[in-house]
Amino acid sequence: MAWQSILDRFRPVGAPGPAAAAGVPSQDVTGPAAELAPVMAALRPDMEAAAARLAAAEAEAEQIVARARERAATTLATARSRAPGARAKAAAAAERDAVEQRARWMADARVRADAMTARAEQVTPRLVARALDRVLDEMLGEPGAGRRSG
């Protein structure tokens, strides 16, 4: 029996008795494959179009990856060619900073040394006089005997 529609499988049941479903499937002689064949045939153009779009997308992705690899190789080559100059520039800057720092330290050391020299020039005469007094006290054997006037 050839059916016009898949819904033809359900025939109405009107037998007397308790309430039941409105329809039950009849005997399926042709099977699901025969029923789905027209549906699959109708979907075939869409499936082929989807496969074509997928293939085009994969080809485009391969091109994008190839271009990205080329750009990466170019960038790497440029970086490698510029690296010696950048290293030299960085080394020169570091050396310049070190020279400037050394100059600042030397200037600070000079200021401190000058301050220490000035303090030593102030204190030295008193210290020499005290030392001389002690030596004289020891030599003369009398405390305060070596004190000089003036």
Per-residue pLDDT tens for 75-119?
A: 999 999 999 999 999 999 999 999 999 999 999 999 999 999 999
pLDDT of residue 122: 92
**Any idea of the CA torsion for 69, 73, 75, 76, to the nearest 10 degrees?**
130
Query: DSSP letter string over 80-142?
Result: HHHHHHHHHHHHHHHHHHHHHHHHHHHHHHHHHHHHHHHHHHHHHHHHHHHHHHHHHHHHH-S
pLDDT tens string 1-23: 555 666 666 655 555 566 655 55
pLDDT tens string 26-64: 555 667 778 888 889 999 999 999 999 999 999 999 999
pLDDT of residue 54: 96
Global pTM value: 0.41
d(CA 12, CA 46): 36
